[in-house]
Structure 1
Amino acid sequence: MIELAQDSGIWTATINRPEKANALTDKMLTELAEIAEEAGQPGGARLLILTGAGKVFSAGADLDAMQGGLATSPVWERLSSAIAALPCLSIAALNGTVAGGAMGMALACDFRVAVAGADVFYPVMKRGFLPQPSDPARLAALIGPARSRLILLVGQRLDAATALDWGLYDRIAQPGALMDAVRDLAADVLAATPQHVAAIKRLIP
């Protein structure tokens, strides 16, 4: 249910479970973490793209798996930490709604490019769970503490235009042109050496 395509250093990991709104299981999260870890190795990816099949990026944790303990599994943090540590560029290509724990991998990416219908919400208060350990700090770094409280404490749902305005999203893609927008954003990085990209990333907190 995770598909990986590799093309000239561009790795595209697609969450492919559209019949379940790309809800994530432990196995899927482990596969994504392994991909991110491998992408960061010497000779790995120059660009890692995370996206989903269908009209939803991911609804977060699979409900059955969540009842079995997935909501508090360390695999979420393993995945987001591996993405955040990448020496290459990482972009979340958000083909639709981003919900719950799926936000963690998107927040850990360098950029988030979304379609116009990509709403975002993180209902940890309503569900009775804590967010992933690194998510609140990453969220606050992007949109500030007050707006982070609106999402995490109040459960506010943002449409894509608001997410862009707040700084949670970096670009809104034209209809049917999500991957074109991603490649356009990554053009200078792909033209540079991996060492140059990694050096600049190390300079940015």
Structure 2
Amino acid sequence: MIDVDREGDVWTVTLNRPDKANALTAEMLGQLVETMRAAQEARAVILTGKGKIFSAGADLEAARAGLATSPLWEDLSGAIAGLPGLTVAALNGTLAGGAFGMALACDLRIAPPHATFFYPVMQLGFLPQPSDPGRMAALIGPARTRLLLMGAQKIDAETALSFGLIDRIVPADRIAAEAVDLVQATVAAPRDVATGIKELCH
């Protein structure tokens, strides 16, 4: 349910459970953590999904069994944030719930016009993963973060772009190609220069 394609120095990691809106199980989270920890030598990592939804967050049955509060979510976002290469969340559609963490940890985020964004953790009776509110606030500001997390607002792609939650709106059939285009300059640059610029941007 997690596909990994290694094209030279570019790794594309795909959530492949479209019949379940790419909802994440503990097994999938574990595979994602292992993959991201193994990607230290990759010059770029592209994270995407199959179908029209990037991810609905935690699988409902797994969430009820405790996955919603699993440390695996934080392990995953930390592993992505710690990668030295350029990371791109090529969101093929809606981003919801716990799946926010992996997208927020990426360096860049692109999405199609039909994507929506919502994080209903409060309504479900859980706290968000520890790093998510801080990363979100760094992108869109504290008030807009409260709008999503406490106001329970669902926003569309245009609003997400205006907030700074995503960096570009791309036609759905161009998401994969756009992500590859975005990483080409980094892949072509000397590794130490690209890594150094990423560190300076933080």
State the TM-score, normalizing by the size of structure 1.
0.96
Aligned to 2:122, the other structure's residue is in SS state helix
**After TM superposition, what 4+ stretches of structure 1 lie above 2 angstroms from structure 2?**
none
- Residues 152-191 of structure 1 show CA distances to partners (whole Å, capped at 9, x for unaligned) of 0011111011101110000111241111211222221121
- Residues 119-141 of structure 1 show CA distances to partners (whole Å, capped at 9, x for unaligned) of 11000111111001000000000
* Alignment check: 8 A CA contact 1:125 1:154 kept: no
Match of 1:163, as an amino acid? A
Match of 1:161, as an amino acid? E
1:75 aligns with 2:65: no
Partner residue of 1:53?
50
Unaligned runs of 5+ in 2: none
Number of corresponding residues:
202
Match of 1:193, as an amino acid? P
Partner residue of 1:198?
195
Partner residue of 2:2?
2
Q: 2:133 aligns with which of 133, 136, 150?
A: 136
State the TM-score, normalizing by the size of structure 2.
0.98
Q: Give the CA RMSD over aligned residues.
A: 0.8
1:15 aligns with 2:19: no
- The whole-number CA distance in structure 2 between the counterparts of 1:158 and 1:181 is 23
Q: What pairs up with 1:1-205 in 2 under 5 angstroms?
A: 1-40=1-40, 44-205=41-202
CA apart distance, 1:22: 0.4
Aligned to 1:3, the other structure's residue is in SS state strand
* Alignment check: 8 A CA contact 2:92 2:172 kept: no
Aligned to 1:200, the other structure's residue is in SS state helix
Sequence identity percentage: 57
- Residues 17-46 of structure 1 show CA distances to partners (whole Å, capped at 9, x for unaligned) of 011100000110111111111101xxx211
Aligned to 2:76, the other structure's residue is in SS state helix
- The whole-number CA distance in structure 2 between the counterparts of 1:54 and 1:10 is 22
CA apart distance, 1:11: 0.5
Unaligned runs of 5+ in 1: none
- The whole-number CA distance in structure 1 between the counterparts of 2:138 and 2:160 is 14
